[in-house]
Structure formats: structure tokens, C-alpha cells
A = this chain, B = another copy of it.
Amino acid sequence: MRIAVLGVGLIGGSIGLAARGRLPDAEVTGFDPDPAALDAARELGAIDRAATSLEEAVRDAQACFACAPVGALPALVERALAAASADCVVSDVGSTKRVIVERVRDERFVGGHPVAGAETSGVANAREDLFDGAPWYLTPEERASGMLYERLHRLVAGLGARPLAVAPEAHDRLLAIVSHLPHVLANVLVSQLALRSRQRDERLGPVGPSFRDISRVAGANPGIWNDIYASNAQAIAEEIDEMGRGLAEVAARLRAGDAEAIDAWNARARGDRRRLLEADLAGGPVRELRVAVPNRPGVVAEVALAMGREGINITDLALAPAPDMRTGQITLWVTGEDAAARAEALIEGLGFPVAAVS
């Protein structure tokens, strides 16, 4: 497969390395406005060849990844779509999805977001295994081509990630709490410690492991994070408000000396965390489901999003149109007996017949 990577930093470079290292037929063309980054990417083996323009990189591609800070992505994706053929899926890797998906309306575009956090940046830190086992959110709209969505899903899985379909708004709300709010907390926490240190004229001594854990992401790369905060401000502000309410309740219980309430609160968090980890680690045997669907736009997105809403991980996905071209079949591979049973019920709930193949 011919893959174009626009922007060969940490993420773009790792896409190139993973594609070249793991996909037998990958040919990766890179473009970057910074010639030094492009040279480095070629030297590191992250791309097969360097294009001299975005248009040259995209022209013959079957898949294109736009890799840039969130604020620059809509324009970059639009340029890529203008240069790409009708048979090229264009995706991006931005950490927020609502803004870009609202703006880019093209059946060849599917928003994407690999959750591969790293404190580093730049192609020199790119790694073939960066996405291994990591969630890679895909935000297909109804207009997205089913065939191109399938291609992107398999490609992303081939890079080592776990593709998971989710609506753009749900993605941004989820990330507001699992990623953006933790970054906000880390920032506020380190600055609060620095403030206390100044107020009390005490040097910052060695800090404990819980502080290190929680402050690891403080002051994350401003070039990336300023755009994330700007493009998801409302959802982040709502999560901050909720956090403030939760904290005020805890402070009130502490001041009241209500040991029982504190105990119950801590136990509740313990249970919530356990369920969270269990959901994150769910595994099991891979089950194959064959779904008969009408051959119309939006069906693949509809099925993928229904699974994503329930947290069901689609390990692999294949589309096959029937000879009459009015119906078709989606084959899904799902991890875990329980997830497969839920997937079957869900898809039948959408009105599509399912055959489970074991």
C-alpha cells in the first residue's frame, strides 16, 4: 500500500517505521515543511522517499496521514484531500476531533487519534512499536466511504494499535476527562507546590512517587497543548467544574471529621478504579461475526460506532459487497466471548442479521 505521511515528527515518523517494518507491501512517502526533519526521517528509515511538495507526496497515495498540531490540521487535511485521488483515505492524528470533523466534509476523510503518549517529540524519538496495543480512535461520519474506512481500520491495526470507532463529540468529551483534565491537574499541582515552597520559604525537597506520577505530564509540549486546550475548551471547563464540586465535597467531609463518609468515598474510588482497569484489560479469544448489511453509505460507520460506544474492540474488519451490489457483508473480529455476545446483540438491534463463526 502506498502511504503518504505529512509531517514526519514523533507520530508521523512512527507511522512510517511501523508501516515499513510490519506491512509487507508498504511504500511510505513523506513530506515535511522542514527539510532537515525530512532528511532525518529518510536516514532513520521512517520513509522510503521524501517528496518535494505535499501534492507530490499525496498524488498516488492510497492512504494519507496528516500529522501536525491540532490547529494546523483542518487546512492541512483540506490540502491533502484536494491533491488526493478518489481512492485515497485521508486521516489525521489530532487529539481533538469535533472541530476538524465539522469542518472537513469529504467521504474520503476519517478523523483519527492514536493515544500514544510520549514526553518526547521529533522524528529522532519515533519508534516502530509506539502504537503497540494503544487505542487509536477513529471518528467516521455517516458520509465516510465504507471501503476507505475498512482500509484505514486494517492499516491502523497493522501498525499495532487497537482501532476504536467513536463519534467526534463523544471522543472529545472522553478525552477531556481521561487526558486533558489530568494535564490540567498536573499543571495546577506543580504550580501549587512551587507557590507553597515560596510562601513557606522551604526548598522543594524530594517528592514522593504519587506526586511524580500525577505531575509527569505537567507543562506538556506547548506547541501541541495550546491547540488542544483551545479546541476542546468547553468540555475541559465542564470537567474542571465537576472536579471542583467533587473536591469541595471531600474538603467539607474532611473538615467535618466524618470518618465514615471519608471511608465510603475512598472505597467507592477503589471500586471505580478496579472496574476501570478490568474494562481496560478485557481480553479473551477472538470471535468472528459475519453481518449482512445493505450496501449504502454510513453502514460501516454505524456498526463501528455502535461497537465503540459499548467499548467493544474490533480487532479486524473486512467488507465484501454481494454480487447484486445492493447488499454486502461486514466480517468483524472481536476479542472476548462476552464482547462477541454483546456485539452480536447490538448489531441485531440495529436490524442486521449476524452469523457467529467459531
Contact = CB atoms under 8 A, between A and B. Distances in A.
Contact of A207 (B230, B280, B312): B280
A137 to B, nearest CB: 8
A357 interface: no
Interface string A51-82: 00000000000000000000000000000000
Interface string A147-169: 00000000000000010101000
Given A246-B188, A247-B244, A266 B226 contact: yes
Given A185-B189, A259-B226, A203 B272 contact: no
A22 interface: no
A233 B254 contact: yes
B247 A229 contact: no
A93 B201 CA distance: 26
A173 interface: yes
A255 B234 contact: yes
Interface stretch (A121-129, A235-243, A318-326): A235-243
A31 B210 CA distance: 30
A352 interface: no
A2 B244 CA distance: 50
Contacts of A179: 208, 210-211
A156 to B, nearest CB: 14
Contacts of A196: 173-174, 177
Contacts of A185: 185, 189, 214, 247
Contacts of A280: 204, 206-207
Contacts of A219: 266-274
Contacts of A313: 206
B257 A230 contact: yes
A289 B215 CA distance: 35
A276 interface: yes
Interface stretch (A10-18, A41-49, A99-107, A303-311): A303-311
Interface residues of A, number: 96
Contacts of A214: 182, 185-186, 213-214
A34 interface: no
A25 interface: no
Interface centre among A164, A211, A309, A310 (most CB of B within 10 A): A211
A140 to B, nearest CB: 16
A218 interface: yes
Contacts of A273: 186, 190, 215, 218-219
Interface of A: 115, 117, 134-135, 162, 164, 166, 170, 173-175, 177-179, 181-196, 200-211, 213-220, 222, 225-226, 229-230, 233-234, 236-237, 239-244, 246-248, 250-251, 254-255, 257, 259, 262-263, 265-276, 279-280, 308-313
30 contacts: A115-B206, A135-B205, A164-B205, A164-B206, A166-B205, A173-B200, A174-B196, A177-B193, A178-B210, A178-B211, A179-B208, A181-B189, A182-B214, A184-B250, A188-B243, A188-B246, A188-B269, A190-B272, A192-B242, A192-B246, A194-B272, A195-B242, A202-B310, A203-B279, A204-B275, A210-B217, A215-B276, A220-B270, A222-B266, A240-B251
